[in-house]
Chain A
């Protein structure tokens, strides 16, 4: 009898907060600068310098906390996490340990088999480290400290996820949320949003957790999925082979598609956390918190409920359309311009528009077809100027040359034929050209009706109004 295994996953997501300056210094946080030009004395950990906390970073952490229904600590403490690493200038990272700024809270994720709520243990403020570069430096590594001191919100989940798919859904949910809140740009390639995954397995039905491994620094949804799946298989194989899982920190190698132990973490860590004496307790009053609460935007879940309720969309559609604030805004703008027709707008936004964006690797904000243009196109479907099929052709043209639907319809002569006599003329031509089929139809082969519709549409260049074609054709074929 084979044992059924259950996977247990918890994620620690690191979101770089979108402040202009660093969490404890006035250096720029802009990405991509020449090495070390954005590392000032505080970021470099020079002797004698001291940290001063950035108000905006605090505000952003509170925004997140309020959005997930967490407790906002009225008093939180900064601590030092001590370890040596070349990209950690002071030999300690300023973080929060015993009293984080955000505690508790949860988010809901949508899966094919329904919704699940994932608990969030805590979210705390800390500073990012610099980067070690290894290419082209021989036996040396180069240290770039531009990133050192960038504010991070570390969001720690409960071990509530049971599969890589759930972990991805959760991570995407947080990704959506931080961008809605405008506290993180979510750019995973630039490392603005990344995570560590704690993975363990246990016999299904067991209560206690298995020994976990922590996989560090996963910076794409795909890597999270692959790393977790690899790690789960590795742990199960190990346990089924009579071995045991060693608690350790592992690194995901995306080229080899496997995880391996991190050399630098082999030695047992003892971070010697203690309250940072250079920083005083962070105290937040009600007014500060209320101000942030009152300025919160509509959150994705609230928006999805509204879309489902007011627009009659399915839960799935509402979820897709609210996955990013920009996409939701685009969709809403189209609906507003059209006046109604939410379903039509939703289908186009999720279908053709999203397809083209994906194909060209564009963000919604970069779409060559704006909300106004798309609404213009859909209005022509609604008023029967063009058919849905022709609309796809028009859309493609709009995408290429960024012009309006009406201009393309005119220029290409795609306006739908609704003139009865013109359609009748085409039908007559088709009947004359296909005498055998006509005879068969009239002798009872009803199925040939479709053949005639096709021929008429073809002869009209697809422009004949399909409803009228049906009606007239039925009449004329009958003789």
Chain B
């Protein structure tokens, strides 16, 4: 499996990563190698095998009581935000 520059551009767009022109071919080569390395998986006989999403078999989701346990901590949390105004997180204009 070989990934082209365009493939890398597409993936980088989905992942919202800026990749420079110079880096594109470098990533194309290393990603191609990595994906090529995955091809050995196809040799495994997995017919009828359930995919394993979790190492904890037979464990099920615990449920929480419907209680409000949190209070307003906005100012503390927004201390980490790059840009806020009037309690809102600011971003370049969203166009719907």
Touching chains A and B, CB distance < 8 Å: yes
Given contacts A39-B74, A86-B89, A86-B94, contact A53 B61 (CB under 8 A): yes
Q: What is the number of residues of chain B that contact chain A, defined by CB distance less than 8 Å? A: 36
In the complex, A96 has a CB within 8 A of chain B: no
Which residue of chain B is the closest to A151 with respect to CB atoms? B66
User: A293-313: which have CB < 8 Å to B?
Assistant: none
In the complex, B37 has a CB within 8 A of chain A: no
Dominant secondary structure at the A interface: loop
CA distance A267 to B95 in the complex (A): 13
1/0 per residue A268-289: CB within 8 Å of B? 0010100101011111000000
In the complex, A25 has a CB within 8 A of chain B: yes
Contact A143 B91 (CB under 8 A): yes
Contact B68 A28 (CB under 8 A): yes
Q: Which residues of A contact B90 (CB under 8 A)?
A: 137, 140-143
In the complex, A56 has a CB within 8 A of chain B: yes
In the complex, B79 has a CB within 8 A of chain A: no
In the complex, B13 has a CB within 8 A of chain A: yes
1/0 per residue B8-39: CB within 8 Å of A? 00000110100000000000000000000000
Most buried by A among B65, B73, B88, B92: B88
CA distance A44 to B74 in the complex (A): 10
CA distance A189 to B14 in the complex (A): 34
In the complex, B40 has a CB within 8 A of chain A: no
Report which of B53, B67, B72, B91 forms a contact with A38, defined as CB distance below 8 A: B72
CA distance A21 to B59 in the complex (A): 25
User: B45-59: which have CB < 8 Å to A?
Assistant: 53-54, 56, 59
Which residue of chain B is the closest to A132 with respect to CB atoms? B94
1/0 per residue A25-37: CB within 8 Å of B? 1111000001111
Interchain nearest-CB distance for B7 vs A (Å):
13
Which residue of chain B is the closest to A44 with respect to CB atoms? B77
Contact B74 A280 (CB under 8 A): no
Q: Which residues of A contact B70 (CB under 8 A)?
A: 25-28, 38, 40
Contact A141 B93 (CB under 8 A): yes
Report which of B66, B83, B92, B93 forms a contact with A54, defined as CB distance below 8 A: B66
Which residue of chain B is the closest to A263 with respect to CB atoms? B95
Q: Which residues of A contact B66 (CB under 8 A)?
A: 19-21, 54-57
Interchain nearest-CB distance for A87 vs B (Å):
8
CA distance A32 to B58 in the complex (A): 41
User: B61-89: which have CB < 8 Å to A?
Assistant: 61-70, 72-74, 77-78, 83, 85-89
Contact A143 B88 (CB under 8 A): yes
CA distance A281 to B52 in the complex (A): 12
CA distance A270 to B10 in the complex (A): 11
Interchain nearest-CB distance for B73 vs A (Å):
7
Interchain nearest-CB distance for A153 vs B (Å):
15
Contact A140 B92 (CB under 8 A): yes
In the complex, A431 has a CB within 8 A of chain B: no
Q: Which residues of B contact A234 (CB under 8 A)?
A: none
Which residue of chain A is the closest to B73 with respect to CB atoms? A40
Given contacts A25-B70, A53-B64, A55-B66, contact A34 B93 (CB under 8 A): no
Q: Which residues of B contact A27 (CB under 8 A)?
A: 68, 70
Contact B61 A280 (CB under 8 A): yes
CA distance A96 to B36 in the complex (A): 32
Given contacts A36-B89, A137-B85, contact A53 B63 (CB under 8 A): yes
Report which of A40, A84, A270, A281 forms a contact with B61, defined as CB distance below 8 A: A281
Interchain nearest-CB distance for B63 vs A (Å):
4
Contact B93 A140 (CB under 8 A): yes
Interchain nearest-CB distance for B45 vs A (Å):
23
Contact B63 A54 (CB under 8 A): yes
Contact B56 A39 (CB under 8 A): no
Contact A267 B13 (CB under 8 A): yes
